[in-house]
Structure 1
């Protein structure tokens, strides 16, 4: 038998030649017209080669057998538990490994094995979920870049929770389609946290100031995101903000002062448990008693109520409803009216609220000035250059 001769030869052959011959043996097992006795002998020889001291031999075996559904299962399972370079070939390509095998490998093996599994074609949701839960950042990035992988939305959220602070993860997620608005907002929040930590670590700002700056920037981005979101997706965004502790009175007030009535009403409905239709009526009918009861039921701070009351009154008087773009930015004139109307209230009681409103007014003024200057410069440009900037 040729296999018997091969085994005798193996005893004295150098590693490189053993590896080459092992590859030839594996190909013969898969593709040659061997008798049943020769097939059994070849399988026994490959099983014996699993104990070869040279990784070159086991690597040659894995390279040939990995993609085949006719490879000996026992050999494939052994190679899948070999050193990372060898196991990765099998974990990435073998059709003999079932979902449970892959999930177990994700949990028990290292980064290289996890990355190999993440690159598999037609990766099922269960394995993707395992990678999202315990995989390294590199493995999660490979998973997100795998166009054939099935990834559930909760797995995406878990990756954002674990690695949303990493730029490559954010870039891949934001470049894709179908990402929920709640997940996009979570990425914004992760970026804000990362920037705050970076600034504090460099000692550019004190920790309190850095946290406040990035918090306000995150809230600004959140309102802008909500303004560009379909109405039916605003409630899931609000729910995410509440569950993550971001649905603060400051954010709700910012939405109102930006003219984003949809976000404001959805927030009140979610916080109070009152149906949205009734919330909308209470906001728009002008009766302060009904709105105050709704406000209290939503659990918003009593000290901030004057700003909400005056903002709604101003909105009703002047119609600050805005379009999609307008409802993403604070409205300076509206804020200034609210500040003027709140000035008669006990200053000591609402001092923090007045400070917040002044910051809002400053932000709105700067945004207004920036837009004015951009329009001024664009208007002075020749028509071809204006078209280039617009593009």
Structure 2
């Protein structure tokens, strides 16, 4: 009887009246006390209203049912497939849409739909993986900025690989507290690539110097990333640096000059095949012969063993409270090991640059402390 009455009424009712009726009818599904018979009748009536020629009527239904867990699934599915302004409320809010439903809509290729999915209150790892793999950059930015979006490490990597040249995405990703350290390094490399090809920089200093400036800046920034990496992330960071070709002997020397002993240990574990406990024991109290054998097994050239051993001894004394020293003192002692300021060669040049950087950093820190006093 209700459906018959509704059919007759729809033929003559104005759009505004149909919108109000549709909204009220849809909201009845949130009423826990609604009887089974009344719920069935309301469901049948809403099914008829899905065929209403006015999108305003269907939008009113979508708005009323968008956050309901009691809504009829077939009606929610139909609304999700409606025109964008109707479907938006369902896709963006409905708890009845499964991960499979959302992934299907992400893969449809419509940027507006992808953006709606990325902005949902909760986004699962499966859905975020689909967004990272196929979505436009606007959806990726929205996902990363969504506090309710769960993002796996591999999804961060895919977004960086696909859209890492987009500044908005880089900024959003860097603000994520759960961003793995190797992904931070990937972003750093992308920034470096953009920097060294900057027309302004190339015009000011030329391509060769731009390459050198960028390389040194990335190396310094990578050291900062090591400080921010959790102990359980160091192995992944080492592997990332190795696969990207950036785990060079010069970077290892720079790291140990700055006291990154845990990172150096992770490098030795990855490259030597020795166990973690064995490497930690050797770095903590192993003699020069044993540590040199470890570095040889890791593939480090004999020519750099001496300076690394020198630095390691100093950092051991610092750790044991027997000495106060920093990168400035350690790099100077390493430089003296190869002949001091007058020494020539690639290793000496590297150690000089590390020492000069440490001097500048200390002077800058001292000046800032004076200014703040």
- Please name the residue that 1:363 is paired with: 357
- Please name the residue that 1:389 is paired with: none
Counterpart CA distance in 2 for 1:28 and 1:206 is: 70
Distance 1:162 1:109, change over 3 A: closer
SS across alignment from 1:68: coil
- Please name the residue that 2:181 is paired with: 181
Unaligned runs of 5+ in 1: 379-384, 387-391
- Please name the residue that 1:262 is paired with: 262
**Can you list the C-alpha shifts for 1:299-321, whole angstroms capped at 9, x where unaligned?**
34x4xx424423423654x5676
- Please name the residue that 2:49 is paired with: 46
Residues 333-342 or 266-275, more deviating: 333-342
- Please name the residue that 2:309 is paired with: 312
**Can you list the C-alpha shifts for 1:265-302, whole angstroms capped at 9, x where unaligned?**
32122112223454466665123xx55554443234x4
Structure 1 contact 330–360 (Cα < 8 Å) conserved: no
C-alpha RMSD over aligned residues: 3.8
Distance 1:212 1:20, change over 3 A: farther
SS across alignment from 1:67: coil
Is residue 244 of structure 2 the alignment partner of residue 241 of structure 1?
A: no
Structure 1 contact 238–267 (Cα < 8 Å) conserved: yes
**Can you list the C-alpha shifts for 1:173-226, whole angstroms capped at 9, x where unaligned?**
444444443344444334333433446677444344333322322222222332
Of residues 287, 296, 302 in structure 2, which corresponds to 1:285?
A: 287
Structure 1 contact 79–86 (Cα < 8 Å) conserved: yes
TM-score w.r.t. length of structure 2:
0.78
Q: Which has the higher contact order (CA 8 A, sep 6+)?
A: 1
Please give the residue correspondences for 1:115-134 in structure 2 after superposition, counting only pairs within 5 Å: 115-134=115-134
Structure 2 contact 25–46 (Cα < 8 Å) conserved: no
- Please name the residue that 1:223 is paired with: 223
Structure 1 contact 128–149 (Cα < 8 Å) conserved: yes
TM-score w.r.t. length of structure 1:
0.75
SS across alignment from 1:48: coil
Structure 2 contact 192–214 (Cα < 8 Å) conserved: yes
SS across alignment from 1:221: helix
Structure 1 contact 311–334 (Cα < 8 Å) conserved: no
Structure 2 contact 238–270 (Cα < 8 Å) conserved: yes
Distance 1:156 1:272, change over 3 A: same
Counterpart CA distance in 2 for 1:40 and 1:269 is: 64
- Please name the residue that 1:92 is paired with: 92
Distance 1:359 1:27, change over 3 A: same
Unaligned runs of 5+ in 2: none
Structure 1 contact 118–139 (Cα < 8 Å) conserved: yes
